[in-house]
Chain A
Amino acid sequence: MSLIDLKDIVAGYGGAPILNGVNMAIDASDIGVIVGPNGAGKSTTLKAIFGLLAVTEGSVTFDGQDVTNFEADRLVPMGLSFVPQEHNVFTSMSVHENFEMGAFVRRDDITESLDMVYEMFPDLKAKRKQPAGELSGGQRQMVAMGRALMSRPKLLMLDEPSAGLSPRYMMEIFEQVVKINAAGVGILMVEQNARQALAFATKGFVLTSGQNRFTGTGQELLDDPDVAKSFLGG
């Protein structure tokens, strides 16, 4: 049984649906990467899972439970965590406070998790009292990921984590993603830098016009000439 299972999802913001029957399954050991052209519904898929827009048909099953259209504050205690693409840190709060907010749903001692997050992103330790809004783009992304990890998720969802970042930060983020997965957290990621992301994806999903187009392991998709020609560009 998969950790998360999307079946025939139809979802949108109210008007015409953006997702027209999307299917996806991810295990805790997977790094799932969603790629595709603009407007394909990649980010929409993550938002549909997290209850940020209405799913009108189909179901989302997490850890064996039907969580379709559950609100975010019910999903986080269950082990789902989401890093949005934009506005993904509390800019007026310090780095440390951002992490504390990530652990809001937890009532136990969070020191161990804090240590783990600072170990993962050592640059942030010196900046822990600084407002997150004052950090560079790459460091902000680290704060965003750290915030999402503080709730000890079983599945971490990331919406274009490398967007707007220099190649160095992008590689660092991807390295961290692989490490997080190695520690037992499932990953479901939307990425524009398709080539680099698919290189370490265990499951790749190509979406176009709100539907699945190609599905396979990351390597399979990279090797497929159709996929490479249509969607991976240069």
Chain B
Amino acid sequence: MNDLIFFFNQAVIGGVVLGSIYALGAVGVTLIFGILRFAHFAHGDMMTMGAFITFVLAGVLAAMGIVTPIPTGVLVVPLAMVLAAGLALGIDKGFYAPLRARGAKPVTLLIASIGVTMMIQGLIRLFFGVETRSFFDTEPKQIFRLELPFEGVTRPITFTEPQIWLVASTAIAVIALHYFLTRSRLGKGMRAMADNSDLAKVSGINTKLVVRVTWVIAGALACLAGTMLALDVTLKPDLAFNIVLPIFAAAILGGLGHAYGAIAGGFVLGFAETLAVFNWSVLLRPFRDVLWFDIPNSLTLVQSEYKLTVAFLILVVVLLVRPTGIFKGAST
């Protein structure tokens, strides 16, 4: 039973947490692809940038001596999301919009976004240095332990306060996005433009406005995802490095351009990764008397250092078997 709880803590809670982060990042990527028709490589670094904005704001609050029951990192997130959205608009206006105006091909925009990636990484290292930081230097991270009332159970279900905030804010973001896309005029305009941008123009939809709203949403969600990841683990300048591949894999798995697909894809990837690095021999231990072989010490599908291969593998399989993804998104 203890082993089952261990499994639950590691794989289930871990899967939900990681899945939420991937889902938020993948939604931004898929929306940008659906509306602007290019792969925004710099999205992982938008997440890093968002996390650093939150860090700075939280630092300002802490310096002012403000203390609240909510961790300061979480408290400043809404403001950080607004700033990140503004920065996303600025990046588009400065780098991508001029290229689009000259009729640049999607590949050109992709390469431009690689340039933006390097620029953001350089700027972050320039201003913040290369060390790892934690949001919880000044205040401790609250950990919740749920004791289960079963006989012989000594291990509690464990999760941290940032993880609760992460799952809650992901749920709110997903629901808000759903209502926006299905009930609001602008949201439907966005779906129309992703469906058929020429017809959207012909119908009189203000395509420039839709593009701006896309960047606002993508930037804000990237900030939320990056902050939550940094709150859960630590804040590093290369936070983005391990993120780009999984969020693209998630977006492609769900069907490029389909926001719900990206969310589903994010969770599939989150669980796939946590289950792949989980030490399954732990679950086999209760049966050691029945099994005819010795249980190895460590039985993982993928070693923890190689966890990126999970996303890579899923990406390759999807592209070979069903390139348009679960929800039949764009394939070019």
Contact = CB atoms under 8 A, between A and B. Distances in A.
- State yes or no: do A and B come from one complex: yes
B191 A93 contact: yes
Given A100-B188, A101-B189, A104-B185, A87 B196 contact: yes
B192 A101 contact: yes
Contact of A89 (B185, B198, B199, B205): B199
A147 interface: yes
Given A84-B198, A87-B199, A93 B204 contact: no
A90 B204 contact: no
B202 A92 contact: no
Contacts of A87: 196, 198-199
Interface residues of A, number: 26
B195 A104 contact: no
B300 to A, nearest CB: 40
- Contact residues of B: prevailing secondary structure: helix
B203 A93 contact: no
A76 B204 contact: yes
Contacts of A88: 199
B205 A101 contact: yes
Contacts of B303: none
Contacts of A50: 202
A105 B188 CA distance: 13
B206 interface: yes
Residue from A84, A89, A92 having most chain B Cβ neighbours under 10 A: A92
A105 B204 contact: yes
A66 interface: no
Interface in B175-234: 185, 188-189, 191-192, 195-196, 198-207
Contacts of A90: 191-192, 195-196, 199-200
Nearest to B206: A73
A91 interface: yes
A167 B135 CA distance: 70
Contacts of A73: 201, 204-207
A100 B185 CA distance: 8
Contacts of B207: 73
Chain B contact patch, size range: 10 to 19
Interface in B14-56: none
B182 to A, nearest CB: 9
A100 B189 CA distance: 9
A92 B205 CA distance: 17
Nearest to A100: B188
Nearest to A105: B204
From A52, A91, A101, residue with most partner B Cβ within 10 Å: A101
A82 B185 CA distance: 21
Interface string A73-110: 10111000010100111111100010011101100000
A40 interface: no
A151 B202 CA distance: 11
Contacts of B185: 100, 104
A72 interface: yes
Interface in B249-271: none
A92 B201 CA distance: 17
A93 B181 CA distance: 11
A52 B203 CA distance: 12
Which of A72, A93, A151 has the most C-beta atoms of chain B within 10 angstroms of its own C-beta? A72
Contacts of A72: 201-204
B189 A104 contact: yes
Residue with the greatest number of chain A CB neighbours at <10 A, chosen from B188, B196, B203, B204: B204
Contacts of A76: 202-204
A76 to B, nearest CB: 3
A84 B202 CA distance: 9
Nearest to A106: B204
Contact of A92 (B189, B191, B206): B191
A91 B192 CA distance: 9
Contact of B195 (A84, A93, A102, A148): A93
A151 to B, nearest CB: 6
A104 B204 contact: yes
A47 B313 CA distance: 46
A228 to B, nearest CB: 34
A77 B204 contact: yes
A73 B196 CA distance: 15
A71 B192 CA distance: 18
Contacts of B200: 90, 101
Contacts of B191: 90, 92-93, 97
A100 B191 CA distance: 12
Interface in A148-207: 148, 151
B203 A147 contact: yes
Given A90-B195, A104-B204, A105-B204, 17 more contacts: A72-B203, A73-B205, A84-B198, A87-B198, A89-B196, A90-B196, A90-B200, A93-B195, A97-B188, A97-B191, A100-B185, A100-B188, A101-B192, A104-B185, A104-B189, A104-B192, A104-B203
19 contacts: A50-B202, A52-B202, A73-B205, A73-B207, A76-B202, A76-B203, A82-B202, A87-B198, A87-B199, A88-B199, A89-B199, A90-B192, A92-B195, A93-B191, A97-B191, A101-B189, A101-B192, A104-B203, A105-B204
